[in-house]
Chain A
Amino acid sequence: MTLESYLLVGAALFSLGLIGALSHRNLIAVLIGIELMMNAASLNLMAFNRFVVTDPTTGQIFVLIIIGLAAAEVAIFLSIILRIYRAYHDIDAEKLTKLSG
């Protein structure tokens, strides 16, 4: 596969993640959409790393950093979900309107 087809796969995956993050009301489904978008970014970085960059360690380290940050993000997001569930007994994004005024 060429660089362009990898980039198109990455764009398609990002679009699917966008649909998941925007269309769902369940906070966990929103998180899954965000994960898909991060992975699309990783795929783009790896494709550029293979086809454009002369030193291939750079892109791999970028992707490793993305994976580490995603792990940290998921830990925080899930603990916030647990906190919300304890306070509202629901994780519906449209019911969290206490601050909407």
Chain B
Amino acid sequence: MLEQAVIYTFVAFVLIGGGLAAFSRQILYAIIGLGISLLGLAGLFLNLGSPFVAAMQVLIYIGGITVAIVFAMMLSIAMSIRPPDPDARKLGFAIACAVIFFGAVAHLIRGAQFQQIASPASEKAWSVGALGHALLTHYNVVFETLSLVLLLAIIGAILIARKALPKENS
């Protein structure tokens, strides 16, 4: 009973935060909504049996990405102070797209037959140790590729965002 209440609280976090992020015209409120939504999602991951992924969600998404977006908002402040007038036609189009998508996916989910396993795998298979072992043996290539992608993203971000050197101005 209590467990159900906690899960539904997390679901409410996800949906209310997502709504705030999607409909708010003030960009700071949208970022706060994103943070609330990600926090609820971390709770759902915890409930789905993976404390490690939930911790990474909080650390990287809420602690890193959300804060980086706040910094970008502060560095490009003009539009965040004066949000443009809402465009009813654009909003209507977006809501129509979303409703069609949700209806189609909900219909698919209702009709689908999933081969569900009888009971969840043992605690040991979910542990951080098992995850680390899999990352360094079976999924080694994926792990290395991801680190390479992150390195390239850092170098690319620095190259794109730096101020032009004086000799490039001529």
Contact = CB atoms under 8 A, between A and B. Distances in A.
Bound together: yes
A28 B64 contact: no
Chain B contact residues: over half helix, strand or loop, or mixed?
helix
A55 B138 CA distance: 13
Contact of A65 (B120, B121, B130, B146): B146
A92 B85 CA distance: 12
B87 to A, nearest CB: 7
Given A22-B94, A32-B34, A56-B126, A67 B101 contact: no
Contacts of B80: 26, 28
Interface string A64-101: 11011111111110111111010001111000000000
A50 B120 contact: yes
Contact of A78 (B45, B72, B94): B72
Main secondary structure of the interface of A (DSSP, over half): helix
A76 B97 CA distance: 27
B112 to A, nearest CB: 8
Contacts of A64: 53, 56
Interface centre among A15, A39, A47, A69 (most CB of B within 10 A): A15
Contact of A19 (B38, B95, B135): B95
Interface in B139-155: 139, 142, 146, 149-150, 152-154
Contacts of A65: 142, 146
B109 A11 contact: yes
A21 B75 CA distance: 21
Interface of B: 7, 11, 14-15, 18-19, 21-23, 27, 30-31, 33-34, 37-38, 41, 44-45, 48-50, 52-53, 56-57, 60-61, 64-65, 68-69, 71-73, 75-76, 78-80, 83-84, 87, 90-91, 93-95, 97-99, 101-102, 105-106, 109-110, 114-117, 120-121, 125-126, 130-131, 134-135, 139, 142, 146, 149-150, 152-154, 156-158, 160-161
Interface of A: 1, 3-4, 6-9, 11-23, 25-26, 28-29, 31-33, 35-36, 39, 42-43, 46-47, 49-57, 60-61, 63-65, 67-76, 78-83, 85, 89-92
8 contacts: A11-B101, A17-B22, A20-B30, A23-B94, A28-B27, A43-B44, A76-B160, A83-B161
